[in-house]
């Protein structure tokens, strides 16, 4: 039994300069293929798709780790600024006490 199959292909999309850009094929067309050819094409597609999904997951994990590091840095900076403000308030209070005496 021979058949024609249209398999999805991978496409890369990105937004730059005010519009969407696209790179890749619309699909893979297998003409007069048998079940073995179809099985091979589906396995190849699944392999490509799993690689794409793993790459996306790695990027998501990297963004999350960078975001967590930025949050920790900003929390440390806020704590340091609070300490500086407290020290400045204590110095001003001590100066006011010296002037009053």
| Tens digits of residue pLDDT in 19-49 | 877 776 657 777 888 888 888 888 888 888 8
Q: Give the sign of the dihedral formed by CA 35, CA 41, CA 44, CA 49.
A: negative
Per-residue tokens: 14? 């990105």
For the entire predicted model, the pTM comes to 0.56
Confidence of residue 86 (pLDDT cuts 50, 70, 90): very high
Separation of alpha carbons 58 and 38, rounded Å:
30
Query: Domain range spanning residue 12?
Result: 3-100
Residue 28 to residue 40: CA distance in whole angstroms: 13
Number of domains in the chain: 1
């Amino acid at each position: 039994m021979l058949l024609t199959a249209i398999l999805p292909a991978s496409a890369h999309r990105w937004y730059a300069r005010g519009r969407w850009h696209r790179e890749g094929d619309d699909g893979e067309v297998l003409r007069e293929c048998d079940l073995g050819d179809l099985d091979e094409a589906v396995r190849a597609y699944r392999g490509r798709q799993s690689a794409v999904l793993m790459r996306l997951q790695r990027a998501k994990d990297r963004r999350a780790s960078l975001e967590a590091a930025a949050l920790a840095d900003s929390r440390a900076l806020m704590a340091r600024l609070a300490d500086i403000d407290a020290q400045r308030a204590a110095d001003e209070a001590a100066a006011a006490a010296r002037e009053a005496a």
